[in-house]
Amino acid sequence: MIDAQHFVILLTILVLAVFVGFEVISKVPTTLHTPLMSATNAIHGVVLAGAIVVTTVLFTDRAPSWILTTVAITAIALGTINVVGGFAVTERMLQMFRKRGASK
Amino acid sequence: MTAANLSAIYGAVELVAIALFILGLRFLSSPGSARMGNRLAAIGMLIALASFLIQTQAVAWWVITVGIVIGGVIGLVSALKVKMTAMPQMVALFNGAGGATALLIGTIEYYANSGAPFGAVIAVSLVLSAIIGGLSAAGSVIAFLKLQEVMTGRPVTYPGQQIVNSVVALTILACGVWFVASSGQMPPVVFLGMLAATLVLGVFFVLPIGGADMPVVISLLNSFTGVAVAITGFELNHTLLIIAGALVGASGTLLTVLMGRAMNRPLTNVLFGAFGSGGGSEPAGGSGGQQNVRSASADDVAMMLAYAQRVIIVPGYGLAVAQAQHAVKALADQLEKRGIEVRYAIHPVAGRMPGHMNVLLAEANVPYPQLLDMEDVNPEFPTTDVALVIGANDVTNPAARNVTSSPIYGMPILDVDKAQNVVVLKRSMRSGFAGIENPLYEMPNTVMLFGDAKASVDALVAAVKTV
């Protein structure tokens, strides 16, 4: 249960984070658009933490059906793909930039 | 240690993670520090996830382990195996995975509650995050299929499409309102039906959007997932998810607007304009209509290049699919050996995503100073002897300047037609991704060299050597 006061605090955090999100990338050059998109993609992989939380709740004091167990495993696997794949592919993109610098 | 102390410690750890995310994004915005930025963000993620894993106190540890191992292997292998040219659709898939996770979290939460009513905040955020996550997941899969050319890149439209989409959207909305009004006490059949409908809507949403607009769509879906994650944060009462999701939602939206601006395509046009649908009926007449072109052999073109003083290479997606970036670099080396000045003109949306072409050319070790942005390179074309267009089409189309009826009218283009000579390397006379004819090909100072981009460039390298 989330009471009204707590909800407003969460909302405040949300709004401030939105402003930071706009501000922090406002000067990005076109060259970095693709890596940046890929990195933000990896950051929203933090949804994996949500999958872990909800799976823990699901398994606390009970043994859920095999269907729900499969759904939980799938959620965690998909979240992990988002995180691991996202950061790894961004790293590969940025490596391309560095290789050029090193060879010069 | 008391529970309150412990949760304060976890909170502090998550604060560190959040600071690392923000610093990471800041560093990712400038070329010198971008790599560091990605690593900082990754370290932040590691810290955050470690904190959450410890908090589970090993309940359901095997479920979590199995999931992480499966996902980790799939994510890592596909990220390391994917060709650099297929990156945009890979990002789309990873994004879809995140969206699907948000959808499944809502589903699990619904079932885990086993009949007890939800509070208003949780009910609203549960249903919203599941819907937005589902839209993003299904849309991303379609974006992937379009870019991978498993299905047509052209807009898929049919009469009454908007009406069908509206009906599906309204149905979802009605179910959502029902869910909230009943505090989540909704029959499972209706709940699952609503989720299925969001997936259908995600598919319908991306289907009518043409391939040329796909980068903007992927960026938009990326910010959708961010929003879904932020709302999931409300559902689970976790500030880390709220902040990280909001960061991505906001920066993703800004990035989407920046991309749309680079293409002079307002977002509403991208989403509802069915870009290129005018060209969809055209190709039959289009390919027949453009016959007034001169084609040349590799030897002719090599001669032209070898006696030029200034050459500008205009790379496009054709170069990317043909994996011709290394061959292009070899050609540039040959020309430079002869004292010819070689530079590259990079349109903001060359390739399929902004910055995509820079990455590909960087992979082939093209020196960074030779890559010129559109604003810097356009004044150079009139004093350029040869503009070598490799697999780029729409971004060189002069119709964007003066043909008001053209779907790409107003899009900023590279002024390739102002060069002394234009050589266009192209697979065939097929029209470009946007499905529009290009008058550039019929101009008197243009010659065409047909064939696969890589084969053509290789032939040019060999021919230049013998001149």
**Identity of the residue in B56, B242, B254 whose CB atom sits nearest the CB atom of A13:** B242
Determine which helix (DSSP H) or strand (DSSP E) holds B388, and give its type and residue range. Answer: strand B386-390
| Of A80-89, B38-47, B337-346, minimum mean pLDDT range | B337-346
**Identity of the residue in B105, B355, B366 whose CB atom sits nearest the CB atom of A75:** B105
Q: What's the mean pLDDT when you consider all of chain B?
A: 86
pLDDT band with cut points at 50, 70 and 90 for residue B160: confident
Region B376-382 average pLDDT: 89
* Domain locations in chain B as residue ranges: 82-275, 283-466
| A42 in Cβ contact with B33 (< 8 Å) | no
Statement: residue A63 has pLDDT above 70:
yes
Chain A: give the shortest CA distance to residue B462, in Å: 25
**Identity of the residue in B84, B91, B367 whose CB atom sits nearest the CB atom of A37:** B91
Catalytic annotation, pick one of B213, B299, B394, B452: B394
Signed CA dihedral, B333, B335, B337, B342: sign only:
negative
Quote the pLDDT of residue B84: 79
* Domain locations in chain A as residue ranges: 29-103
Beta bridge partners of B449: B425
Quote the pLDDT of residue A31: 73
Beta bridge partners of B387: B312, B422
For the stretch B314-338, pLDDT in tens is: 998 778 777 888 899 999 999 999 8
For domain B283-466, which architecture applies? 3-Layer(aba) Sandwich (3.40)
Q: Cβ separation of A25 and B29 shorter than 8 Å?
A: yes
| Of A67-81, B6-20, B119-133, B354-368, minimum mean pLDDT range | B354-368
Quote the pLDDT of residue A44: 96
Statement: residue B311 has pLDDT above 80:
yes
Quote the pLDDT of residue B277: 42
d(CA B319, CA B331): 13
pTM of the model: 0.79
Among B92-96, B254-258, B420-424, the range of highest mean pLDDT: B92-96
Nearest to B22 by CA among B45, B50, B46, B51: B45
Q: Residues A34, A35, A36, CA angle at the centre, nearest 5°?
A: 90
Signed CA dihedral, A26, A32, A36, A38: sign only:
positive
**Neighboring chain B residues of A54 at a CB cutoff of 8 Å:** 105, 108-109, 112, 236
Q: Cβ separation of B67 and A74 shorter than 8 Å?
A: yes
Q: What percentage of chain B reaches a pLDDT higher than 90?
A: 46
Signed CA dihedral, B366, A36, B141, B97: sign only:
positive
Q: Cβ separation of B48 and A49 shorter than 8 Å?
A: yes
B299 is catalytic: no
Q: Cβ neighbours of residue B455 under 8 Å, at least 6 residues apart?
A: B322
| A56 in Cβ contact with B108 (< 8 Å) | no
For the stretch B46-61, pLDDT in tens is: 999 999 999 988 888 9
| A57 in Cβ contact with A72 (< 8 Å) | no
Q: Cβ separation of A52 and B53 shorter than 8 Å?
A: yes
Region B173-189 average pLDDT: 93
- Give A88 or A35, the one with higher predicted confidence: A88
